[in-house]
A = this chain, B = another copy of it.
Amino acid sequence: MPVEIVMNHATFRKAWRFDAFVEACAAAGMRRVSIWGNEVAEIGLDAARARLRDSGMRAFGYNRAGPLLAGDPARRAELMAAAKAEIETAAALGSDHILLFPGGLPGGSKGLAASRSQTADACAILNDHAGNCGIALALEPLHPMLAGDRTALCTLAEANRLCDRLGANAGIVIDSYHVWWDAELEAQTALAGSRGRILGFHVNDWLIPTRDMVTDRGMMGDGVIDLAGMWSMVLRAGYDGPVEVEIFSEHWWAQDPDEVLALALERCAAIFSDEAAR
């Protein structure tokens, strides 16, 4: 049986709006899509739900809850309220999980340790809310180069520890780009799997040179990540979900989206096999 592939809308964010994206994925034979709140907001929740239903598609990942951190308590309360609203939207669309991004250091402060602690507290509140809404909360450790401005959660080990505190409704999305460098990758993937908390596996590639910290990810196979090896680790850890393609890239955003989609599927077929675990 072929491995299920899911496209993340971010891969096509400059070429396709919600409708076109969902339609293209359905036409290519996929069953699920990973979507973004700003795109849903643009056409409205009801329209988005109707588009998914009419095309026979379901929402897999929903991006996103966060950022959450701010120096000012009033601003922090606003951000938490916004994150709760996103959780409700994600649940209303029947999404499998909502991705949580804590955000960076408030106002250029030097308080990474404080950000970690605030992140943990905020996650506890949002995980309860997500549980009540019937949707899993997905923590995604981001690459340490994003520690200053995007997250205080940089490794699978941290995400596993935080999930231990949060309990059953919280899980982890493993993005190859963010964690491929980690010497503890295999051990922490196995640990996450043993707790049944791997919610997704995002793929793309690390290019050499990398020209931008956010928008220069590579197409699978064009960089140095051993993606087949990672997929094998994830399968051995018990993951039974899809491979999700998420490529933030000025280069790929500038190409014909139909061609990018076809190429991504071709690369996935070459790299990700359900026999990898054997």
Residues of A within 8 A of B (CB): 104-105, 108-113, 116, 143-145, 147-149, 154-155, 157-158, 180-184, 206, 208-210, 213, 223-227, 229
Residues of B within 8 A of A209 (CB): 149
Given contacts A149-B208, A210-B145, A213-B145, contact A226 B108 (CB under 8 A): no
**Could you tell me the distance in whole angstroms from the C-beta of A116 to the nearest C-beta in chain B?**
7
Of B112, B145, B225, B229, which one neighbours A144 at CB under 8 angstroms? Answer: B145
In the bound assembly, the distance between CA atoms of A144 and B157 in angstroms comes to: 15
- Chain multiplicity (copies): 2
Tell me whether chain A's interface is mostly helix, strand or loop, or mixed.
loop
30 cross-chain CB contacts under 8 A: A104-B208, A105-B208, A108-B224, A109-B224, A110-B225, A110-B226, A110-B229, A111-B226, A112-B180, A112-B181, A112-B224, A112-B226, A113-B229, A144-B144, A144-B181, A144-B182, A145-B145, A145-B213, A147-B181, A147-B206, A148-B181, A148-B208, A148-B223, A149-B208, A149-B209, A154-B182, A154-B183, A155-B183, A157-B183, A158-B183
**Could you tell me the distance in whole angstroms from the C-beta of A84 to the nearest C-beta in chain B?**
26
Residues of B within 8 A of A143 (CB): 144-145
In the bound assembly, the distance between CA atoms of A206 and B144 in angstroms comes to: 12
In the bound assembly, the distance between CA atoms of A116 and B143 in angstroms comes to: 19
In the bound assembly, the distance between CA atoms of A158 and B210 in angstroms comes to: 24
